[in-house]
Structure 1
Amino acid sequence: MSRMRANLRDWRATVLNRHRMLLAAKTAVAAAIAWAVVPLLPFVNNEYSYYAPFGVLVVMYPTVAATARTGGQTLLGLAIGIGLGVGALGATEYFDIPPVIPLAAVVAVGVLLGGIRHLGAGRDILAVAAVFVLLLAGQAGADDYPLSYLVTMGVGVVVGLVVNLVVVPPLYFQWAGGKLTTLRETTGGFLDTLADHVDDPEPAQVDAAVAHLDAMTDEVRREVTEADDSARANPRGKRHLREQEDNARRLHSMEQTVAATRDLAEVVAGRNPAALEDMTDTARARFAEAIRACAQLTDTAIDDDSLDTRLRDANDALEAYLNELPSASVTSSTKAQRIEPAIFLRRIIDASAPFASADTTDGPAPDTPSG
C-alpha cells in the first residue's frame, strides 16, 4: 500500500507539476492556432491541414531552445524525406517499375540517412515522410501533397515555437534547485545510515541505496542541464543568472559528495576489509561520528547559518578519527587502504567547503595517522 502511495506521489510530481501543465496548455493552444491558420494559406490543400497540429506536437518541448532546435531538425529531415519520396515516385513513373521496388528502396535509403546524427529529431521523420509521399502523392488528385505536407508541418513548427517563446517562456532553475535539494537530503540521510552500520554492515541494503543515489544523481544532472537549456533564447533568462550559477556550483558539489559517499559505502559494506582492519572500538566509534558529522554537513543548505558550524564539526570529527587510527598502519603495507576512509570523508567535507566562510575551510589532511 505504501508503495502504491509512493508511486502515486511520483506520478503526480511528474505529470501534474505546474511546468508540465503549462506545457500541455501551450501545446493545446498552439495546435488550435496552427489548425486555424492553415486554411488561410495559399497553395496549400486544406485536406492536409491536420499536419499542422502534428507539427506542433513534434516540436513542442519544455524549453524554447529545444523547440527551436527540434523544429529546425524536423523541417530539414522532412524536406530530405519529401525529396526522397518525390524522386522515388518519379523513378516509378518513368521506368514503369512495380511500386514495391521503390518502396523498399525508399525505406532502405531513409533508414540509412536517419543515421546522420546532425539531423537530430529529423532522423525519426525522414523515412516516414518519404514513404508518405511515395504512397500518397501517387494517388489521383494528390499532386500537391508534397508541398502541402511540408508547408502545413512548417506552420505547426513555427506556431509552436512562437507560442513557446511568447507565452510564459519557461525557466526551470527553481525546479532544478528543488531536485538538488532532494539529492542533498537523500545523500545526507544515506551517510547517516552508513554511520549506523559501521559495526553492523548490510551489503545488500548499502547496494540498493547506492543504486538509488546514482539514479537520482543522473536525474538531477539532466534537470540542471535542462534548466540551463531553458535560459537559451529565452528573454527571461538573463534575470536568473545567479540561480543558474548556484545550481551549477551545487551540482558540482553534489557530484563530488555522491562519488565520495559511494566509495565510503564500499568500505562500510566490508568490500575493503583492510580499510577497517586492526581498528579499535574507539576508532570505529570516531569513524561513525565523522560519517555522521559529514551527514549533517551534507544535509545543510548552502544558505543555512549553521553551515560554518557544521563544517567545523565535520573537520573536528575527522581529526578525532585520524588521531584514533592504529599506529601500526604507519608502517604497514596496507597503509594506503587503511587511510582511504579518511580520504573519502575529506572529499565530502571539501565538497561543502566552498559554500562556507573562508576561515572555516581549513581541516586536517588525511596523510599519516598520529595515534
Structure 2
Amino acid sequence: MATKKIIETLQRPEFTTDTLQIVKTVIAATAAWWLSITILDSAMPFLAPWTALLTVHATVYRSLSRGAQSTVASAIGVGLSFLIGSFLGVSLWTFALALFVGLIGARVTWIRDEGIAIATTAIFVLGSGFDSQQPLLVERIVEIALGVAVGLAVNLIIIPPIRDRQASRYVDSINRRMGDVLINMSDEFSDSWDTDRAEDWFRETESMTDELNTAWQSVRFARESRKANPRGDLRKTLKNQRANREHHEAGEEDYSNILSRVDEGISHLRNLARTLRDASYAEGEWDTRFRRKWAEIVKDTGHSISDPDADVEPVYDRLDTLAKNLSGDGKLPETSWPLYGALITSLRHIVVVVDDVASAREAREPNDA
C-alpha cells in the first residue's frame, strides 16, 4: 500500500513540476555564480545567483514579469545603498535607514511581488564592505542583470511547463470520490446508518471542494503557462500553432464550465449527505420499497460516476419511475414525501450534472492528442 502511494505521488503532475522547478533553479543559480566568477571576476559573486534564483518561476510569463521586477528592485537597492553609504556613511542607524527606505519601496504597486529585493540588496551591499564596493556601482547592476538573464534563459530552455491535462486529472479524481461516497451511502442505507456516517460523507464533500479549488488553480496556471511559452513554437508549424491555440482557448473555457458543473455536483452531494444526516434523527420506519429501490439507484449512480465504462441501467428514468410508483399507489404517508422527494431530487441533480461533465469531457478529449 505504501509503495503504491509513493508511486502515485511520483506520477502526479505537481510532483513533476516541483521537481523540475528545483532542478531549474539550481542550474540557473549555479550557472549565474560560475559566470559571475569566471566572466565578470566579481568580488560579490552572490548577487548574480541570488537574482537568478528569484527569477526562475513556475511559468515563463511569471519569470519575465518577476524578472523585470527583480531587476528594477535590485537596481534600486544598489543605488540606495551607494547613496546612503556615500553621503551618510555606514553605521548602525544608516543601515537601519537603508532597510526602512527599502521596505517602504517594496510597497510600490508595480514591483510589489519582488519589491523586498530593494531591502535585501541593501543588506548585501552595505554588509559586505561598502568602502571596497563604492566604485563598482555599474558592476553590481551588471551582476544583477546577469542573474536575471540566466534565470530567464534556463526557464525558456528547460521544458517550460504546460498543465493542459492536470485539471482533467482532478475532475476524474473528484468523480471517483463522489462515486465512492454514493456507493457507501447505498451500502449504509440498505441496512442502517447513524449520524457519524452521515457526518463522514459531509466532511468528504468538503474535502472534494478543496480539491476542486486546486483544480481551478491548475486551470489558471495552464492559462498563464502558455504565455510567452516557446514549446509550441518548437513543435508545430504556424498553422498548427493557430489551431492548437484555438483549441487551448476553447479548452480553458470548457474546463471553466466543467469545474463549475462539478462544483454544483459536489453541492448537491453535500445536500444529500445533509438530508440523510438530518433524517437519522427522525422517528419512524422507512418505507421498504423506497429504501430498497433508492439504495439500488444510488449504488448504480455511484458506479457510473466513479467508472464511466460501468454497465448500469440509465439512472434518471429509474428515479422518475420510483417517484411515480410511490405516488401512484397512495400507500406512502404524506408526511414522508418531503424527505423522500428531497432524496430523489438531490440524486437527480447529481446525475444530470455528472452527465453534463462527461459530455463536455468527451467533446474535447479527442483533440488533446
- The TM-score normalised by the length of structure 1 is 0.74
Q: Would you say the 8 A contact 2:102–2:116 is kept in 1?
A: no
What is the match of residue 315 of structure 1? Answer: 316
Mean alpha-carbon deviation: is it higher for 79-88 or for 228-237?
A: 79-88
What is the match of residue 287 of structure 1? Answer: 294
What is the match of residue 30 of structure 1? Answer: 28
**Aligned residue identity for 2:258:** R
Q: Deviations over 1:268-292 (max 9, x none)?
A: 3337967x98852322334333433
- Measured in 2, the distance between the counterparts of 1:117 and 1:195 equals 54
- Measured in 2, the distance between the counterparts of 1:121 and 1:158 equals 18
What is the match of residue 135 of structure 1? Answer: 127
- Following TM superposition, by how much is the alpha carbon of 1:122 offset from its aligned partner in structure 2, in angstroms? 0.6
What is the match of residue 250 of structure 1? Answer: 258
- Measured in 2, the distance between the counterparts of 1:251 and 1:357 equals 13
Q: Would you say the 8 A contact 1:26–1:167 is kept in 2?
A: yes
Q: Would you say the 8 A contact 2:99–2:119 is kept in 1?
A: yes
**Residue 37 to residue 218, structure 1, CA distance change in 2 (3 Å):** same
More helix, by proportion: 2
What is the match of residue 278 of structure 2? Answer: 270
What is the match of residue 108 of structure 1? Answer: 100
**Residue 348 to residue 90, structure 1, CA distance change in 2 (3 Å):** farther
What is the match of residue 328 of structure 1? Answer: 334
- Following TM superposition, by how much is the alpha carbon of 1:159 offset from its aligned partner in structure 2, in angstroms? 2.0
**Aligned residue identity for 1:200:** W
Instruction: Within 5 Å, give how 1:48-87 maps onto structure 2.
Output: 48-87=44-83
SS in 2 for 1:155: helix
SS in 1 for 2:228: coil
**Aligned residue identity for 1:51:** L
| Alignment root-mean-square deviation, CA | 3.7
Q: Which of the residues 216, 219, 223 maps onto 2:214?
A: 219
What is the match of residue 362 of structure 1? Answer: none
**Aligned residue identity for 1:268:** L
Aligned residue pairs total 338
Q: Which of the residues 189, 193, 200 maps onto 1:200?
A: 193
- Measured in 2, the distance between the counterparts of 1:69 and 1:197 equals 54
- Measured in 2, the distance between the counterparts of 1:116 and 1:287 equals 60
- Measured in 2, the distance between the counterparts of 1:271 and 1:118 equals 55
- Following TM superposition, by how much is the alpha carbon of 1:63 offset from its aligned partner in structure 2, in angstroms? 1.9
Q: Would you say the 8 A contact 1:196–1:288 is kept in 2?
A: yes
- Percent of residue pairs bearing the same amino acid type: 21
- Measured in 2, the distance between the counterparts of 1:48 and 1:355 equals 56
- Following TM superposition, by how much is the alpha carbon of 1:200 offset from its aligned partner in structure 2, in angstroms? 0.7
Q: Deviations over 1:31-74 (max 9, x none)?
A: 34433444576xx5612233322222222223212222221232
SS in 1 for 2:278: coil
Q: Which of the residues 347, 350, 354 maps onto 2:349?
A: 347
Q: Would you say the 8 A contact 2:219–2:255 is kept in 1?
A: yes
Q: Would you say the 8 A contact 1:297–1:352 is kept in 2?
A: no
Residue 173 (str. 1) matches residue 174 (str. 2):
no
- The TM-score normalised by the length of structure 2 is 0.74
Q: Which of the residues 144, 163, 185 maps onto 1:153?
A: 144
- Following TM superposition, by how much is the alpha carbon of 1:264 offset from its aligned partner in structure 2, in angstroms? 1.9
Q: Would you say the 8 A contact 1:45–1:148 is kept in 2?
A: no
Q: Would you say the 8 A contact 2:297–2:315 is kept in 1?
A: yes
In structure 1, stretches of 5+ residues that fail to align are 359-371
- Measured in 1, the distance between the counterparts of 2:70 and 2:257 equals 34
Q: Which of the residues 108, 118, 126 maps onto 1:126?
A: 118
- Measured in 2, the distance between the counterparts of 1:13 and 1:130 equals 42
What is the match of residue 363 of structure 1? Answer: none
Q: Deviations over 1:241-261 (max 9, x none)?
A: 546345444323322222222
**Aligned residue identity for 2:113:** A
- Measured in 2, the distance between the counterparts of 1:19 and 1:99 equals 44
